[in-house]
Amino acid sequence: MSAPVYQKTVSAPVNIAVIKYWGKRDVGLNLPSNSSLSVTLSQNDLRTLTTASCSAAFEEDSLWLNGAMESMCESPRLSVCVRELRKSRLELEAKNESLEKIANYKLRVVSENNFPTAAGLASSAAGFAAFAQAICALYELPWTPTELSRVARQGSGSACRSLFGGYVSWEMGEQPTGADSVAVQVAPVEHWPEMRVAILVVSAAKKGVSSTAGMQATVATSSLFAERARNVVPQRMVEMKNAIRARDFASFAQLTMKDSNQFHAVCLDTTPPIFYLNDTSRAIIRAVESINSSVNGYAAAYTFDAGPNAVIYFLEKDSDLVLTTLRSVTQNAEGWEKADFKPVESSEFLNLEPTVIDTISSGVSRVILTRVGDGPQVLPDTESLVDTQGNPKL
């Protein structure tokens, strides 16, 4: 009889920051130079599905990512997460005799995204969140998401924010150990469920500087970065939380756009300069400004992470206007076939130069439409990515 295989399957969401994380005060512990705040996106459209399994029969810790096996011990960031979770399971087993002694079994973790990696979306947050959450569930650790966020953070900083649904802050903390550098829910989905999201995937010739290398170059060389981290972001965190609590989209939008721009500004103030925005990104910014001008206010807010893709937030009530405009400038992009909105007469509001439209149209390859969503879910074994022997279902 073969050794039993223990397993748990979870899904975890992508999150997109509206107050940006950029810069570490401690690289080893993934402690940030400033707090950040994000919106969790719906797992119906973007999610990582992960099964964590363990068994006396497994010979090494291993990870299967989108069908390819990787050794877990080669990733120090994964190893540190596993070490902490395993240690906690051991303590739990020591305290509770009735628990199975599985802590020292080798782990096999199988993970898949429901969106193409080629889309260039930052999937590491969802990936590390799912990884930590799956092992936490497998080990039956009685942790809150905030407690688990301390572990996930060490895998990938922004992963900690994917442990909650809705609107989530990552409080930078003060302790050198990072014990207080954790994620906290600002508001659940239900508080402001009308928040919608359009992601414009921009084809880039090549990925730019990796974010870990980039952020440390900024910390080391930008003479404006310290001002941002020390004085600007703390104030914006307060304002953004207030905007979310008050469901004040105008303030949310202004802060989101300002903070995206400032993040890219400190990238440009880095030596050598880091550029993530390209001409397509800049043209999308103009299109969003045009949408906002047409309503004499704020119907949409752009934000850009470490790449040229645009993420555009808007409210349900403005979706016809926003999506009509976006579709009119991204006719060639995949993804519109699933869109559900009522086109409005675009000539009334669209005041864009032809070169702006051409630049967007030729640069955007795909559109992903989604909305604010829930945090990680523990799923029934029917969703498992391993068979009863613990072999990945490929």
Q: Which residues bind its own copies (CB under 8 A)?
A: 205-206, 223-224, 227-228, 231-232, 254, 257-258, 261-262, 264-266, 268-273, 275, 278-279, 282, 285, 289, 353, 355
Return d(Cα 54, Cα 69) in angstroms, integer: 16
Q: Which of 1, 5, 2, 4 is nearest to 386 (CA)?
A: 5
123 vs 218, beta carbon nearer its own copies:
218
Return d(Cα 376, Cα 162) in angstroms, integer: 7
40 vs 280, beta carbon nearer its own copies:
280
The CB-of-369 to its own copies minimum distance in angstroms stands at: 25
The CB-of-38 to its own copies minimum distance in angstroms stands at: 21
71 vs 231, beta carbon nearer its own copies:
231
The CB-of-261 to its own copies minimum distance in angstroms stands at: 5
259 vs 318, beta carbon nearer its own copies:
259
Most distant CA pair in the chain: distance in Å?
Answer: 72
The CB-of-33 to its own copies minimum distance in angstroms stands at: 15
9 vs 262, beta carbon nearer its own copies:
262
DSSP secondary structure code for residue 36 in this structure: E
- For 159-177, b where at least 16 C-beta lie within 10 A, e where not — what string? bbbbbbbbbbbbbbbeeee
146 vs 221, beta carbon nearer its own copies:
221
The CB-of-329 to its own copies minimum distance in angstroms stands at: 16
The CB-of-222 to its own copies minimum distance in angstroms stands at: 8
Question: Residue ranges of the alpha helices (H) in the chain?
Answer: 76-95, 124-138, 145-155, 211-221, 225-227, 233-245, 249-268, 279-294, 319-329, 354-363
Contact of 229 with 34, CB cutoff 8 Å? yes
80 vs 265, beta carbon nearer its own copies:
265
Query: How far is CA 327 from its chain centroid?
Result: 24
Question: Cα Rg for the chain, rounded, in angstroms?
Answer: 21
Q: Write a three-state SS string for 151-208.
A: HHHHHCHHHHHHHCCCEEEEECCCCCCCCCCEEEEEECHHHCCCEEEEEEEECCCCCC
The CB-of-148 to its own copies minimum distance in angstroms stands at: 34
